[in-house]
Amino acid sequence: MTNTPPTKIRQFAVFDLDGTLIRWQLYHSVADTLARLGHMDPKLHRRIKDARMVWKRRSGGFADYEKELIAIYDRTITSLDRSQLEEAAQVVFDEYKDQSYTYTRDLIAELKQKNYLIFAISGSQQEIVANIAKHYGFDDFAASVYEYSDGKFTGKKQVAAWDKKGALDGLIARHNVTRKDSLAIGDSRSDVALLENVEIPIAFNPDKSLFTTAKDAGWKIVLERKNMIYELEQKNGKYELVKTN
């Protein structure tokens, strides 16, 4: 009788997408594209653009702009059919698929070489996240799912970004991976739940809230600006530049 050797449990890495792998916000780009294709009320799109400019002028916060965007998107989607959303997602994919950060793009390739399973957790729509995940060779993902019934979107949704820890726990259970040497990388406060639940957390171009959390926890911080990458690690309570490209 031949004994079959047990399957080796693999390690995993989980990535945020918007602003971490892709240089802009996929969710926002889908909304803009719906307007460009004539699938959104121009007056509503003007409200999105006005809110965005308030944020860009630093007269208001990103969260305020994003709140306005999501409210208008949720109002618009009930008037769409699935083909219109899929069309917008394909246009965004074609435009943004290779507009990625060098550090995270290369990290994915490096970890795949080491036989890691690669996951994505994103607040963007599953239609665009599925395309990005396939393009970069992700093994699985969790994204925002808008309910579709009787030929129309109902307005109900499940948003992975609302509970990133729960989404990660689901991916871990589904693929039976080990947390040993597990890695997570994200750029904002919503990614803290991922970074807290792996052995190797990386705060990438962090916003102020994530930076504060990372500094208090001693997490690695990576900054990518123009054609330079700066890797910072905490030693004796102070960050030191340990590597550049």
Where residue 171 sits, what CATH number does that domain have?
3.40.50.1000
In a domain, 90, yes or no: no
* 73 falls within a domain: no
> For position 1, what pLDDT does the model report?
47
Phi, psi for 28 (deg, rounded to 5): -65, -40
Q: For residue 57, is it within any domain?
A: no
CB 84 within 8 A of CB 94: no
On whether residue 172 sits in a domain, the answer given is: yes
Range of the domain at 202: 11-23+98-244
Q: Does some domain include residue 91?
A: no
Predicted TM-score (pTM) of this structure = 0.92
pLDDT at 60: 81
- Compute how many other C-beta atoms are within 10 angstroms of the C-beta atom of residue 229: 17
pLDDT averaged per 10 residues, the chain (length 245): 63 97 95 96 96 91 93 95 94 97 97 97 96 97 93 90 95 95 96 96 96 96 96 93 91
Asked whether residue 75 is assigned to any structural domain, the reply reads: no
Give the model's pLDDT for residue 111: 97
> What is the model's pLDDT at position 6?
53
**pLDDT computed for residue 68 by the predictor:** 96
Question: Is residue 78 in some structural domain?
Answer: no
pLDDT at 237: 87
The token pair at 110 is 């490096």
The answer as to whether 225 is a domain residue is yes
Tracing tokens 């917008």 back to the chain, one arrives at: 88
Cβ atoms of 15 and 119 within 8 Å: the answer is yes
- Domains held by the chain: number: 1
Alpha-carbon distance of 222 to 236, in angstroms, equals 18
